[in-house]
Amino acid sequence: MQDAPIIRLRDVTKTYLMGTVMVHALRSVTIEFHRGEYVSIMGPSGCGKSTLLNLLGCLDRPTSGTYELGGRDLARLDDDLLSEIRGARLGFIFQSYNLIAQLTVVENIMVPLYYQGLPERESLTVASRLAERVGLTERLNHRPTELSGGQQQRVAIARALANDPLVILADEPTGNLDSTSGKEILDVFDDLHRQGKTLITVTHDESIAARTMRVVRLSDGEVVSDVWN
Distance, first Cα to last Cα, the chain: 21
Quick check: is 183 in a domain?
yes
Q: What is the CATH number of the domain that holds 168?
A: 3.40.50.300
Phi/psi-derived region of residue 150, left when phi > 0, alpha when psi is between -120 and 50, beta in every other case: alpha
User: What stretches in the chain show pLDDT beneath 50?
Assistant: 1
Instruction: With respect to residue 25, please indicate whether it lies within any of the assigned structural domains.
Output: no
Q: Rounded to the nearest 10 degrees, what angle do helices 149-161 and 120-133 cross at?
A: 130
> Can you give the pTM of this predicted structure?
0.93
13 part of a folded domain: no
- How far apart CA 169 and CA 189 sit, in angstroms, is 11
Alpha helix stretches (DSSP H) within 7-148: 49-56, 79-89, 105-115, 120-133
Whole-angstrom distance, CA of residue 17 vs CA of residue 28: 18
Give the residues across from 170 on adjacent strands. Answer: 93, 201
The answer to whether residue 198 sits within a structural domain is yes
Count up the domains in the chain and report the number.
1
Is residue 7 in some structural domain? no
pLDDT of residue 2: 62
Within the chain, residue ranges assigned H as helices are 49-56, 79-89, 105-115, 120-133, 149-161, 179-194, 206-209
pLDDT of residue 4: 87
Within a domain: 5: no
pLDDT, tens digit, 9 for 90 and up, residues 173-223: 999 999 999 999 999 999 999 999 999 999 999 999 999 999 999 999 999
Residues facing 10 on adjacent strands: 66
pLDDT value for 38: 97
Question: 137 is in which domain, residue-wise?
Answer: 36-65+77-228
C-beta of residue 20 within 8 angstroms of C-beta of residue 132: no
Asked if the structure places residue 16 within a domain, the reply is no
Evaluate whether residue 31 is within a structural domain: no
| Rounded CA separation 138/132 (Å) | 8
Angle, helices 120-133/105-115, rounded to nearest 10 degrees: 130
